[in-house]
């Protein structure tokens, strides 16, 4: 047995920083929750409302995205710190240790502030909704109803009243059934403009949830027809929903249930890309072409204009790299289908309609 003198023990204990102990405890706690859906659900319903309430009230005091400032500032700061250490020939081991510790704190902050919502119970378990297996008949029935509703909702949108969108979406989320497990939105919640909208357009990002300060950011280059549905989608993330298909579902339900024509059309129109991809796979070629002819010419023109608009802003090199990284990120956070998860909203809608 090795004997350590009291002086050596004291010196050893002095080297153990309190912040390291706290960091280790928080890291272990995060990993425990990640491994237990029941704990994840408890976090989403009990801890997250408290944490997000504090962070969002603070972040809403600022007109700009402080989360973006934190992310870009952290990247610049870490690169600057490393460069300074190399130029001044300081101890690189100590420098790397500080960088690793900072990244570890960011990791823990991300998951405690929002990221543990990835590890809650799945939609069907949480809402006690029966998962309906795919069938051609069910999909065709959904497709007929959706197409008629989309055509009937057509409303040309040149501008959008953002304040009306905010109030409509807030009210819609307050009226959602409790079984969906979303937290109730505060009246103070509002969207912010991305710090670098043009850069985000280059990778095809129209909005995102800022997890570090519970704020949601929208691309300033959004088309008017996209704004309401994107607003509702990103607010769903703020309200504890991490699954992209679920966020699409709630955005669709809230927007299509609105009495405001522009918001209602935005809801139906937002689902069109996912309906197209599902119909292309589920229908034979003749049926697919026949279905496309049922769409109003104005809607097809608007869809093609939207696709051309975003393609003109897209940068294939950085866009494809971002897709790969985000796909891996989602798969690593309990969304096995990755970015394909967005289109799974159709299955959720069919399941709800079957109740």
* Lowest-pLDDT choice from 8-22, 104-118, 130-144: 8-22
| Domain boundary pick from 119, 143, 169 | 119
Phi and psi angles of residue 61, each rounded to the nearest 5 degrees, phi first: -75, -15
User: How many helices (H) does the chain have, and how many strands (E)?
Assistant: 17, 3
* Ordered DSSP codes for 199-238: HHHHTT--EEEETTTTEEEE-TT--TTTHHHHHHHHHHHH
Q: What is d(CA 322, CA 205) in angstroms, rounded to the nearest whole number?
A: 10
Shared-domain flag, residues 283 and 193: yes
Residue 15 within any structural domain of the chain: yes
Residue 169 within any structural domain of the chain: yes
- Give Cα 163 to chain centroid, integer Å: 22
- Sign, CA torsion 243/215/51/115: positive
Shared-domain flag, residues 51 and 157: no
Residue 124 within any structural domain of the chain: no
Shared-domain flag, residues 100 and 21: yes
pLDDT tens profile 248-307: 999 999 999 999 999 999 999 999 999 999 898 888 999 999 999 999 999 999 999 999
Shared-domain flag, residues 26 and 102: yes
Confidence bin at 12 (pLDDT 50/70/90)? very low
Position 37 pLDDT exceeds 90:
no
Shared-domain flag, residues 199 and 145: yes
* Domain range for 53: 6-119
Residue 324 within any structural domain of the chain: yes
Mean pLDDT over the full length of the chain: 89
Overall number of domains in the chain: 2
Shared-domain flag, residues 101 and 138: no
Shared-domain flag, residues 175 and 70: no
Position 92 pLDDT exceeds 90:
no
Shared-domain flag, residues 89 and 172: no
Q: With contact defined as beta carbons under 8 Å apart, do 139 and 278 qualify? A: yes
Q: What is d(CA 290, CA 283) in angstroms, rounded to the nearest whole number?
A: 10
Confidence bin at 6 (pLDDT 50/70/90)? low
Residue 294 within any structural domain of the chain: yes
**pTM for the full model?**
0.91
By percentage, how much of the chain surpasses pLDDT 70?
Answer: 93
Shared-domain flag, residues 180 and 238: yes
Residue 126 within any structural domain of the chain: no
Shared-domain flag, residues 114 and 136: no
Position 38 pLDDT exceeds 70:
yes
Shared-domain flag, residues 106 and 136: no
Helix H or strand E segment including 97: helix 92-113
Shared-domain flag, residues 180 and 53: no
pLDDT tens profile 96-135: 888 999 999 999 999 999 999 999 999 999 998 988 888 8
């Amino acid at each position: 047995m090795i004997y350590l003198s009291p002086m050596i023990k004291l010196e050893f204990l002095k080297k153990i920083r309190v912040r390291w102990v706290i960091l280790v405890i928080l890291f272990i706690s995060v990993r425990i929750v990640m491994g237990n859906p029941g704990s994840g659900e408890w976090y989403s319903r009990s801890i997250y409302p408290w944490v997000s309430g504090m962070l969002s009230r603070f972040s809403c005091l600022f007109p700009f995205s402080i989360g973006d400032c934190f992310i870009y500032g952290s990247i610049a700061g870490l690169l600057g710190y490393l460069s300074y250490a190399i130029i001044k020939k300081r101890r690189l081991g100590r420098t790397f240790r500080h960088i690793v510790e900072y990244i570890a704190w960011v990791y823990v902050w991300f998951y405690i502030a929002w990221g543990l919502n990835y590890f809650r119970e799945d939609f069907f378990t949480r809402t006690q909704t029966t998962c309906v297996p795919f069938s051609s008949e069910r999909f065709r029935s959904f497709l007929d109803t959706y197409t008629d509703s989309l055509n009937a909702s057509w409303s040309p949108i040149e501008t959008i009243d953002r304040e009306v969108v905010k109030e409509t979406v807030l009210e819609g989320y307050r009226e959602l059934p409790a079984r969906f497990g979303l937290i109730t939105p505060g009246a103070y919640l509002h969207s912010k403009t991305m710090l670098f909208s043009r850069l985000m357009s280059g990778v095809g990002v129209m909005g995102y949830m800022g997890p570090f300060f519970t704020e949601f950011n929208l691309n300033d280059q959004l088309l008017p027809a996209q704004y309401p549905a994107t607003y509702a989608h990103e607010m769903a993330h703020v309200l504890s929903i991490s699954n992209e298909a679920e966020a699409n579902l709630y955005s669709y339900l809230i927007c299509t249930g609105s009495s405001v024509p522009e918001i209602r059309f935005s809801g139906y129109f937002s689902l069109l890309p996912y309906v197209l991809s599902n119909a292309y796979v589920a229908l034979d070629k003749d049926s697919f072409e026949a279905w496309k002819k049922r769409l109003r010419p104005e809607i097809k023109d608007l869809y093609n204009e939207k696709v051309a608009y975003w393609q003109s802003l897209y940068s294939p090199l950085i866009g494809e790299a971002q897709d790969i990284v985000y796909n891996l990120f989602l798969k690593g956070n309990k969304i096995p289908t990755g970015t394909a998860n967005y289109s799974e909203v159709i299955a959720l809608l069919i399941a709800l309609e079957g109740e």
